[in-house]
A and B are shown apart, each in its own frame.
Chain A
Amino acid sequence: MSKLKYVGQSLKRKDGPDKVSGRAVYTQDVRLPGTLIGRVLRSPHPHARILKIDPSKALALPGVKGVITAKDTIGVKHGFVETPRYPADQDVLAIDKVTHVGEEIAAVAAIDDITAQRALELIEVEYEILPGVFDAETAMQPGAPEIRPTHPKVKEDLVNIAGKTETEWGDVEKGFAEADYIREDRFENQLRTHGYLEPQVTLAHWEGDKLNVWTSSMGTFIKRAKLSRTLGLPYSQVRIHKTYVGGTFGGKIDLYSHEYCAARLSMLTGRPVRITANREEIFSAYRHSQTLTIEIKTGVRKDGTILAQRFRIINNAGAHRGSGVVVIFLAWGFIMGPYRIPNLKYEGYAVYTNHTTRAPQRGHGAPKVRFAVESHLDMIAEHLGIDPITIRLKNARGPWEQLPNNDNTHEAGLIDCIKMVSQKSAFLDKWRQARPPADSKSPLRRGIGIGVTSYMSGTLIYPNGSGVVVKLNDDGSLIVLTGALDVGQGAETVLCQIVAEELAVGMDDIKLITADTDTTPQDIGAWISGMTYVTGNATRQAATHAREKILKVASEEMGVPEEDLGIEDKSVFNLHDPQQRMSYAQVFSASVAKHRGDTIIGEGFWRTMRDEPTHPSLATTKGRWTENYAFSAQVAEVEVDIETGEARLIKAYTVHDCGFPVNPGLIKGQVDGQVSMALGQAFMEEVMTKNGYTLNPNWLDYRMPLIHNMAGSEDFEVITEQYRVGQPYRTKEVGEGLVSGVLAGIANAIYDATGVRLTSAPFTPEKILAGLRKLEREKARELA
Chain B
Amino acid sequence: MILFDFEHESPSSTEAAVARLNEVGEEARFLAGGTDMIPNMRIGIVKPECLISLTSIPYAPPALDAKGWLEIDALTRLSEIEHSKLVGDAAPMLAASAHSVAGNQIRQVATLGGNLCQETRCLYLNQKHDFQFVEPCFKRGGDCCYPFPKNKKNVCWSVYMSDIAPVLVALNAEVSVLGAGGEVRLPIAALFTGDGLRPHTLNPGELIRRIHIPPAPSHFGWGYHKSTVRGGLEFATALMAVALEVRANGLVCSDARIAIGAVNEGPVRLDKTEASMKGLELNPANLRMLADQASQEVNPLPHHGFSKPYLRDNIRVHLKRTLALAVERAGTRMKEDRS
| Residues of chain B within 8 A of A756, CB atoms compared | none
Mask: chain A, 104-118; 1 = CB below 8 Å from B; 0 = not = 000000000110010
Mask: chain B, 266-310; 1 = CB below 8 Å from A; 0 = not = 000000000000000000000000000000000000001111001
CA distance A706 to B104 in the complex (A): 13
Taking CB atoms and an 8 Å cut-off, the chain A residues in 677-710 that contact chain B are: 683-684, 686, 688, 693-698, 700-701, 703, 705-706, 708-709
Minimal beta-carbon separation of B229 from chain A (angstroms): 5
Given known A-B contacts A44-B134, A102-B131, A693-B133, A643 and B317 have beta carbons under 8 A apart: yes
Taking CB atoms and an 8 Å cut-off, the chain A residues in 124-183 that contact chain B are: none
| Residues of chain A within 8 A of B224, CB atoms compared | none
| Residues of chain B within 8 A of A114, CB atoms compared | 3-5
User: Can you pick out 16 interface pairs between chain A and chain B where the beta carbons lie within 8 Å of each other?
Assistant: A42-B130, A42-B131, A101-B131, A101-B132, A113-B1, A280-B127, A280-B128, A684-B229, A694-B132, A695-B305, A696-B304, A697-B132, A701-B126, A706-B231, A706-B233, A708-B232
| Residues of chain B within 8 A of A644, CB atoms compared | 313-314, 317-318
Q: Is B30 an interface residue (CB 8 A)?
A: no
Q: Is A308 an interface residue (CB 8 A)?
A: no
CA distance A658 to B243 in the complex (A): 57
| Residues of chain B within 8 A of A696, CB atoms compared | 123, 304-305
Minimal beta-carbon separation of A64 from chain B (angstroms): 15
Q: Is A776 an interface residue (CB 8 A)?
A: no
| Residues of chain A within 8 A of B318, CB atoms compared | 644
A683 touching B229 by the CB < 8 A rule?
A: yes
Q: Is A635 an interface residue (CB 8 A)?
A: no
Minimal beta-carbon separation of B260 from chain A (angstroms): 16
Q: Is B183 an interface residue (CB 8 A)?
A: no
CA distance A91 to B290 in the complex (A): 60
Mask: chain A, 536-567; 1 = CB below 8 Å from B; 0 = not = 00000000000000000000000000000000
Q: Which of B123, B127, B230, B310 is in CB contact (< 8 Å) with A684?
A: B230
| Residues of chain B within 8 A of A706, CB atoms compared | 230-233
CB-nearest residue of chain A to B102: A700
Given known A-B contacts A120-B130, A695-B305, A769 and B313 have beta carbons under 8 A apart: yes
Q: Which of B128, B232, B235 is in CB contact (< 8 Å) with A278?
A: B128
CA distance A44 to B314 in the complex (A): 36
B310 touching A703 by the CB < 8 A rule?
A: no
Instruction: Contacts A643-B317, A709-B231 known; list 4 others, CB within 8 Å.
Output: A44-B131, A703-B230, A766-B310, A769-B313
Taking CB atoms and an 8 Å cut-off, the chain A residues in 247-291 that contact chain B are: 278, 280-281, 284-285
Given known A-B contacts A114-B4, A703-B234, A695 and B124 have beta carbons under 8 A apart: yes
Taking CB atoms and an 8 Å cut-off, the chain A residues in 764-781 that contact chain B are: 765-766, 769
| Residues of chain A within 8 A of B126, CB atoms compared | 698, 700-701
| Residues of chain A within 8 A of B317, CB atoms compared | 643-644
| Residues of chain B within 8 A of A353, CB atoms compared | none
Given known A-B contacts A42-B131, A696-B123, A698-B126, A765 and B4 have beta carbons under 8 A apart: no
Q: Is A599 an interface residue (CB 8 A)?
A: no
Interface size on B, residues (CB 8 A): 31
B130 touching A280 by the CB < 8 A rule?
A: yes
| Residues of chain B within 8 A of A113, CB atoms compared | 1, 3
Q: Is A535 an interface residue (CB 8 A)?
A: no
| Residues of chain B within 8 A of A457, CB atoms compared | none
A44 touching B132 by the CB < 8 A rule?
A: yes
Q: Which of A688, A697, A703, A708 is in CB contact (< 8 Å) with B229?
A: A703
CA distance A684 to B232 in the complex (A): 12
CB-nearest residue of chain A to B318: A644
A701 touching B134 by the CB < 8 A rule?
A: no
| Residues of chain B within 8 A of A285, CB atoms compared | 131
CA distance A278 to B42 in the complex (A): 11
CB-nearest residue of chain B to A642: B317
Minimal beta-carbon separation of B176 from chain A (angstroms): 31
CA distance A334 to B77 in the complex (A): 52
Q: Is A43 an interface residue (CB 8 A)?
A: yes
Minimal beta-carbon separation of A527 from chain B (angstroms): 28
Minimal beta-carbon separation of B97 from chain A (angstroms): 18
Given known A-B contacts A696-B123, A701-B126, A708 and B231 have beta carbons under 8 A apart: yes
CA distance A71 to B300 in the complex (A): 51
Taking CB atoms and an 8 Å cut-off, the chain B residues in 189-242 that contact chain A are: 229-235
Mask: chain B, 1-40; 1 = CB below 8 Å from A; 0 = not = 1011100000000000000000000000000000000000
Q: What 3 A-B pairs are tightest by C-beta distance, nearest first?
A: A42-B131, A695-B123, A766-B310
In the complex, which of the residues A643, A686, A693, A695 has the most CB atoms of chain B within 10 Å of its own CB atom?
Answer: A695
| Residues of chain A within 8 A of B127, CB atoms compared | 280, 284, 697-698
A705 touching B230 by the CB < 8 A rule?
A: yes
CA distance A114 to B44 in the complex (A): 13
| Residues of chain A within 8 A of B232, CB atoms compared | 706, 708
Minimal beta-carbon separation of A499 from chain B (angstroms): 41
In the complex, which of the residues B1, B230, B234 has the most CB atoms of chain A within 10 Å of its own CB atom?
Answer: B230
In the complex, which of the residues B233, B306, B318 has the most CB atoms of chain A within 10 Å of its own CB atom?
Answer: B233
Mask: chain A, 701-726; 1 = CB below 8 Å from B; 0 = not = 10101101100000000000000000
| Residues of chain A within 8 A of B131, CB atoms compared | 42-44, 101-102, 284-285
CB-nearest residue of chain A to B124: A695
Minimal beta-carbon separation of B98 from chain A (angstroms): 18
B304 touching A701 by the CB < 8 A rule?
A: yes
| Residues of chain B within 8 A of A709, CB atoms compared | 230-231
Minimal beta-carbon separation of B330 from chain A (angstroms): 21
CB-nearest residue of chain B to A704: B230
| Residues of chain A within 8 A of B310, CB atoms compared | 765-766, 769
CA distance A696 to B121 in the complex (A): 12
| Residues of chain A within 8 A of B230, CB atoms compared | 683-684, 703, 705-706, 709
CA distance A165 to B229 in the complex (A): 38
CA distance A690 to B131 in the complex (A): 14
| Residues of chain A within 8 A of B5, CB atoms compared | 114
| Residues of chain A within 8 A of B307, CB atoms compared | 766
| Residues of chain B within 8 A of A280, CB atoms compared | 43, 127-128, 130, 132
Given known A-B contacts A684-B229, A709-B230, A765 and B132 have beta carbons under 8 A apart: no
| Residues of chain B within 8 A of A281, CB atoms compared | 130
CA distance A695 to B131 in the complex (A): 13
| Residues of chain A within 8 A of B4, CB atoms compared | 114
| Residues of chain A within 8 A of B43, CB atoms compared | 280
CB-nearest residue of chain B to A42: B131
Minimal beta-carbon separation of A270 from chain B (angstroms): 25
CA distance A229 to B291 in the complex (A): 65
Minimal beta-carbon separation of B243 from chain A (angstroms): 23
| Residues of chain B within 8 A of A44, CB atoms compared | 131-132, 134
Minimal beta-carbon separation of B55 from chain A (angstroms): 24
CB-nearest residue of chain A to B313: A769
CA distance A113 to B130 in the complex (A): 14
CB-nearest residue of chain A to B233: A706
Minimal beta-carbon separation of A38 from chain B (angstroms): 14
| Residues of chain B within 8 A of A43, CB atoms compared | 131
| Residues of chain A within 8 A of B130, CB atoms compared | 42, 120, 280-281
Taking CB atoms and an 8 Å cut-off, the chain B residues in 51-108 that contact chain A are: none
Given known A-B contacts A684-B229, A696-B305, A700-B234, A284 and B132 have beta carbons under 8 A apart: yes
CA distance A706 to B306 in the complex (A): 21
In the complex, which of the residues B130, B229, B307, B313 has the most CB atoms of chain A within 10 Å of its own CB atom?
Answer: B130
CB-nearest residue of chain B to A278: B128
| Residues of chain A within 8 A of B313, CB atoms compared | 644-645, 766, 769
CA distance A285 to B132 in the complex (A): 10
Mask: chain A, 597-628; 1 = CB below 8 Å from B; 0 = not = 00000000000000000000000000000000
CA distance A120 to B134 in the complex (A): 14
| Residues of chain A within 8 A of B234, CB atoms compared | 700, 703
| Residues of chain A within 8 A of B305, CB atoms compared | 686, 688, 695-696
| Residues of chain B within 8 A of A705, CB atoms compared | 230
| Residues of chain B within 8 A of A697, CB atoms compared | 127, 132
Minimal beta-carbon separation of A698 from chain B (angstroms): 7
| Residues of chain A within 8 A of B134, CB atoms compared | 44
Given known A-B contacts A113-B1, A644-B314, A700 and B235 have beta carbons under 8 A apart: yes
